[in-house]
Structure 1
Amino acid sequence: MHHPGIGAWMAKRRLKSADKTALVHGESTVTYGQLADGADRVSALLRQHGVGKGDAVAYLGENSPEFLQVMFGAVQLGAVFVPVNTRLAPPEIAHVLTDSAARLLIHDPEFGERVADAVGPAAATAQVIVTGEGTAHRPGLDQLLRTAIVQRLDVALSPDDPAAIVYTSGTTGKAKGAVLTHGNLTWVALNCIVDYDVVSTDVALMISPLFHVASLGMGALPIILKGATMVLEKGFEPGRALAQIQRHGVTMLSGVPTTYQLMADHPDWATTDLSTLTKLTCGGSAVPVRILNAYEERGLSFSQGYGMTEAAPSATALPPAMTRRKQGSVGLPHFFTEVRIADSTGAAAPAGTIGEIEIAGPNIFPGYHGLPAETAAAFTADGWYRSGDLGYLDADGYLYISGRLKDMIISGGENIYPPEVERLLNEVDGVTGAAVIGVPDARWGEVPWAILTVREGAAVDTDTVREFLDGRIARYKLPKNVVIVDELPRTASGKVRKTDLRARFGA
C-alpha cells in the first residue's frame, strides 16, 4: 500500500519491529505488531459503518491503546481523526461533533452521560460506539473489533490531505477546528526527533492526555516513528509518575511546570531512582528557577519550547545546555521550521525589537475547518502564520516571548480564551459587564479571574458565577475569583482595557 502519510506508519512498524513493545498500559503491554493489527481491525470496522476518505471520526477517552488504534485505523482509511478533550462540557462536545460533521463517535464508558447530553444537539453524529465489551444489546468496541473482517486498503492520499482536526478555544467564544494534514504531523515528528534526539531505545512516560496536540504531535508520533516505547498513564499523579519512571526505566518525560513542581514536592522525590531520565521537555510557560534548581540538583536539565495547535504544535526548542545561558528564552526554531518577528507595519523587525511572532514551515496547518475568513486572517500575504503573540529574537536567533496579543490564559498547560468565558458571564443574572484576565498562581502558572460590573442589588459572587458556568464550559475555565467593580476601564471605542485590569488585579 502506497500511503504518503501517517496512515502507513503502523504497517511499516509491523514490518520493522513487530515484536517490540510499543505501549505499556497498566499491567499489560502491546507490541507494534498488535497495535498495527488493532488499527487494521478499526479500519475494517469503520468501513462497515460507512466511514470513508474525508469523513470525521471523533474519539472521547483517556490515554489507552484504543486511542491510538482508533486514530491510526481512521487515518489509514483517509478519514480524519478528531480527538475530543475529556474535560469539555456537553455543549462544547456537541459543538466539536457538529462542526466536524463527525460520522462516528467512539468514547470511554465513563463519559456516557455527557455524550448522551451532547449527541442530541449534535445531529450530524449518527453513530456512537463505547469502548470495552459493551453489552449484548449494545456491543462495545472490543466485541465489534473481534468480528471485523480486515481487507487490504488502497486509499489514494496526499501529504496535504487532512489527518486530524484539533479544536482550540476560539477568541470569538467558539472553538475552532485546526486542520492538521498528514504532512504537518509527519514534519512535527521529524522536528522533535531531530531537536530532542529521540531514539528507538527511548521509553516515554505519557502523563499528559493524548487529545492534546502537544502530547500527540510531540510525544506519541515521534516515539512511534522511531519505534520506541510509551508508558501510557490515564492521568497524572506525582507519586505514581515517580514510581513508573523507576519501574520502567523511563528516559523521556514531558509536562508543564506544575507537573514538575508536584513531582519535586512529593515525599518519594529524594528516594526515586531517576538515573534513566535523559530528556525532560516543558511547555505551557517558562520553567521557574526553583524548579530548575530542584532538577539540576538531581542531574536533570530541561528542554523548553514554544508552539500552538496551528504548528502541530511545536515551533521552537531550547536545548538543555542553553537553559541557563538563555534563561527566559523558548529557544531556536525547529530544524524544519522558521520564525520571524514582524513590526507593526508587517516588515521584519531587527534583533531585540518586539513584534508579532510569525512562523512558517511544513508543520504549519493549512487553516481552520469551515472558517475561510479566520484562516485568511491567520496568514500573511506571503504565507507565514500570524501567531498573535509578541516576542523578539536576540542576536543569536533565540526567541523570547513578551506577551500575547490574544490575551490567552495558560492555566496548568490548558489554554483559556477570555471571550469564551466572558460570553457566558454576560448571561449571569445581574451581570452588566464582564472581563476575564489571567492572574499569576504559584501552582497553575495562571488562573482566570472574572472582573464584573453588576446591576444594583444583584446577588453575584464567586460561588454563584461558578455554579452558573459549571457544566457549560470545562471546569479549568471557571474563574477562580470574582471581583465586582463599579466600572470597567474602556477605550474610546468601548473595548475593555485589560492592561489596566491586569495592572490592578494581576500583580
Structure 2
Amino acid sequence: MGKIAAGASSALVSLRVLGEAGVIRPYSPKKLVGLGATLRRWGTGPAGGFISLAVRAPHAVGLVDELGELTWSELDSRTNALAHALRGRGVAQGGSVALMCRNHRGFVETSIAVAKLGADALYLNTAFAGPQLTEVLERESPDLLVHDEEFTELLSGVEGVDRVLAWTDEAPADGTVTLERLIGAGDEAPLDPPARHGRVVILTSGTTGTPKGAPRKEAGLSAAVSMLSRMQLRTGWRTHIAAPLFHTWGYAHYMLAMLLGSTIVLRRTFDPEQCLATVVDQRCDSIVVIPVMMQRILRLPAETLRHHDLSHVKAVAASGSALPGDLATAWMDQFGDTLYNIYGSTEVSWVSIATPEDLREAPDSAGRPPYATVVRILDEDGEALPRGESGRIFVGNDLLFEGYTGGGHKEVLDGLMSTGDVGRIGDDGRLYVEGRDDDMIVSGGENVFPQEVEDCLARHDAVHEAAAIGVDDDDFGKRLRAFVVLTGPDAADEDTLREHVKANLARYKVPRDFVFLDELPRNATGKVLKKDLDAD
C-alpha cells in the first residue's frame, strides 16, 4: 500500500507541475490519438519529442536562427530527409555521430536526425584544442563528424572519419558535403522507429582532467517535472538559449523545448549587446545563460542597458558555475527578480535550484533541491552530517548518469552519487556549495584541472617543473595561475608558455598569469605544497 500511495502522490505532483506549465491541456480526440501513437512508437527522447511537436503544432515556429524561422513541421520534414541521407552515408542504429557545432539549426537538426536513426550523438566542446579532439574521437570512434566550417583546419589531424559541414558562410562551390545539400537531396518520408533509442554523450572531465564521455539515455518526464517544480517556465514561450548547446545546461533547455513547445531562438556566438537585442527583437520570454555571460552584459554602458527593455522576460536561467559576489543581486536590480540559478553537473543533472526569492535572501546559496531529489552532506566515512557542517555533497534522483564511456564512474554511496563538491545545508534549509573536493576549478562555466595544465607545461623544453592553482576572477569565477621553474633564467617567457598551452589545450585552460620560481615548495615525500604557493 505504501508503494501505491507513493506512486499516486508522485503522479499527482507531476500532473500539478505539468498542468501549471501548460503542458497538460485540452486537445482534440484526433490529436490526442496522434500524440499517443507517436510517443508509444518513438519514446520521449529527441525523436519522439520533436515529432510530437509536428503533430501538436505543425505550423508554429519552432526554431529561429540567423538563417530565419523553421516551423515544427518543417523541422520534422527536414530531419527526416537528413536522417535518410545520413543512413546512406553509413550511420545506422547503434552507431554514433559527433557534432562540433555552435548554436544554430544544424546542431538541432543533426541531433534529431541521429535520434531518428537510433544512433548516439557525441557533443564536442567548440573550445577544444586539436590534441584533445584527436584523443576523444579515437576513443569514441564516431561514424560521422558534423562540424562548422571554422573548425575544418583544427580537425585536419583527425583521420578516418566521414565529415559533413554543418554551417558555412557561403555554400562551397566544390561539391563539399553540407547539411543543407544532404537535406535538399534527402527523402522527407517518415522513418520507422529504431528498435534501440540513441543516447546523447556530453563530454566532461574526469579526475585526471582528460575529457570523458558522460552518456545519457532518455530522461522522460521526471527530468522536466524536477526542473519545473522550482522554475517557472511555461508552454509556448520563446526562449533564447545563449548557453552552448553542447553543454549540459544548453542541452537541457533544448530538450525542455520539445515538452513545452518553446520556440528556440539561437545565435551562433555570444555577444552581450547582440544577446540583449535578440531577446528584445524576438520578444523572448526566457533566457538561458552561464554566469560569465551575465557579467559581460552588466558591463555594457548604462545607456545600452537602458535601451534594451527586458521587462517582458519572465525567467533568466543560469548555470555552469557559481554566481560570484553580488552578481545575482546586481542582475536582478537591473532586470528584475526573474533570475534562477541551478547547481548541478553533467553526471547528476540538477541538484538544487535557487529561485529569485532565494537569491534575494541568500545570494550565495544554491537554493533548495527540486522535486524527487535527495541531497545529503556526508563525511569521509559516508556518514550524514547535520545542518551547518561542511562535507561532501551527494545526490539521489532519477537523472544520474550510468558511467563514463571510457570506463570509470562517480562515487556512489547508498544510491547517492558524489558531485565532487564540498558544501553544507544551512539553518535556512538551503544548500551552500563551498568548493571542489579536489583541485578542480570552474572557470567561465568550464571544468579545469590544474594537473592537466601542469603536465602540458612540463612538456615544454624550457620548463623544469610547474604547478597551477585556482584564484578568484571577477569575470570567470576562477582562473588558473601557473608557477613555473624554468630550465634556465631566460629559457622562456609568459607569452611563450601561454601559447604552448593554448596550442595543446582548450583556451579556457590557459593560465592568465605566470609566476617564475627557483623551486617549488615540497614536503618530505616530494609532493608539491600548493597551500604554500602565493595566490595573492
CA contact (8 A) 1:171 1:418 kept: no
CA RMSD, 1 decimal: 2.0
Alpha-carbon displacement from aligned partner over 1:170-195 (angstroms, at most 9, x marks no partner): 33242111111112x75434422332
Quick check: 148-157 or 355-364, which moved more?
148-157
The counterpart of 1:292, out of the listed 297, 314, 329, is 329
The alpha-carbon deviation at position 59 of structure 1 amounts to 0.8
- Partner of 1:41 in structure 2? 81
User: How has the CA–CA distance of structure 1 residues 189 and 345 changed in structure 2, closer, same or farther, with 3 Å as cutoff?
Assistant: same
Q: Check conservation: 1:198, 1:223, Cα contact below 8 A.
A: no
* 1:166 Cα deviation after fit: 1.1
What is the SS of the residue equivalent to 2:412? coil
**Residues 68-467 of structure 1 correspond to what in structure 2 (within 5 A)?**
68-117=108-157, 119-120=158-159, 123=160, 125=161, 127-131=162-166, 133-149=171-187, 150-157=189-196, 163-183=199-219, 187-217=222-252, 219-267=253-301, 268-283=304-319, 284-289=321-326, 292-311=329-348, 313-371=349-407, 374-375=408-409, 378-467=410-499
The equivalent of 1:59 in structure 2 is 99
Q: In structure 1, what is the Cα distance between the partners aligned to 2:178 and 2:310?
A: 40
Q: 1:305-335, CA deviations, whole angstroms, 9 ceiling, x for partnerless residues?
A: 2111112x32210111121222311011121
Per the TM alignment, residue 360 of structure 1 is displaced from its structure 2 partner at its CA by 1.6
Contact 1:22–1:31 under 8 Å retained in 2:
yes
Offset at residue 294 of structure 1 (A): 4.8
Mapped to 2, the partners of 1:186 and 1:491 lie a distance apart of: 52
Which residue number in structure 1 is paired with residue 28 of structure 2? none
> Using the alignment, how far apart are the partners of 1:462 and 1:347 within structure 2?
46
| More off after superposition, 283-292 vs 301-310 | 283-292
DSSP-derived class of the 1:86 partner: coil
Describe the SS at the equivalent of 1:435: strand
Q: Distance in 1 between matches of 2:84 and 2:386?
A: 54
Q: CA deviation at 1:162?
A: 5.4
- When residues 381 and 207 of structure 1 are mapped into structure 2, their CA distance, relative to the original with a 3 A threshold, is closer
Deviates more, 1:192-201 or 1:15-24: 192-201
Q: How far is 1:215 from its partner?
A: 0.8
CA distance in structure 2 between the partners assigned to 1:298 and 1:50 by the alignment: 49
| Secondary structure, counterpart of 1:367 in structure 2 | coil
Q: State the alpha-carbon separation in 1 of the partners of residues 177 and 323 from structure 2.
A: 46
Relative to structure 2, which stretch is displaced further, 284-293 or 35-44?
A: 284-293
Q: Which string of whole-angstrom CA distances, capped at 9 and with x for unpartnered residues, describes residues 315-361 of structure 1?
A: 21011112122231101112132211111111111111111111121
Pair 1:230–1:381, CA change in 2 (3 A): same
User: Cα deviation per residue 1:214-250 (whole Å; 9 max; x = unaligned)?
Assistant: 1111x21112210011210111111111112221222
Q: 1:395 to 1:3 in 2, by over 3 A?
A: farther
| Identical residues among aligned pairs (%) | 30
Checking the alignment, whether the CA contact within 8 Å between 1:134 and 1:141 is kept in structure 2 is no
Query: For residues 291 and 173 of structure 1, do their structure 2 counterparts lie closer, same or farther at Cα, with a shift above 3 Å needed?
Result: closer
Q: Distance in 2 between matches of 1:151 and 1:294?
A: 46
Q: Distance in 2 between matches of 1:465 and 1:178?
A: 31
> Aligned to 1:310, what secondary structure does the other structure show?
coil
1:472 match: 504
Q: Does 1:30 align with 2:66?
A: no
Distance 1:193 1:222 in 2: 10
8 Å CA contact 1:204–1:231 kept in 2: the answer is yes
How many matched pairs? 489
Secondary structure of 1:196's match? coil
TM-score, scaled relative to structure 1: 0.91
Question: Does the CA contact (< 8 Å) of 2:329 and 2:360 recur in 1?
Answer: no
Secondary structure of 2:484's counterpart equals: strand
Q: Which structure 2 residue ranges, 5 or more long, are not aligned?
A: 1-37
Counterpart in the other structure of 1:17: 57
- Which sections of structure 1, spanning at least 5 residues, go unmatched? none
What amino acid is the match of 2:234? Answer: V
Please say if residues 44 and 151 of structure 1, whose CA atoms lie closer than 8 Å, have aligned partners that are also in contact. Answer: no
- Following the alignment from structure 1 to structure 2, what is the Cα–Cα distance between the partners of residues 208 and 297? 20
Deviation of the 1:290 alpha carbon = 5.4
1:298 to 1:108, Cα distance in 2 relative to 1, 3 A:
closer
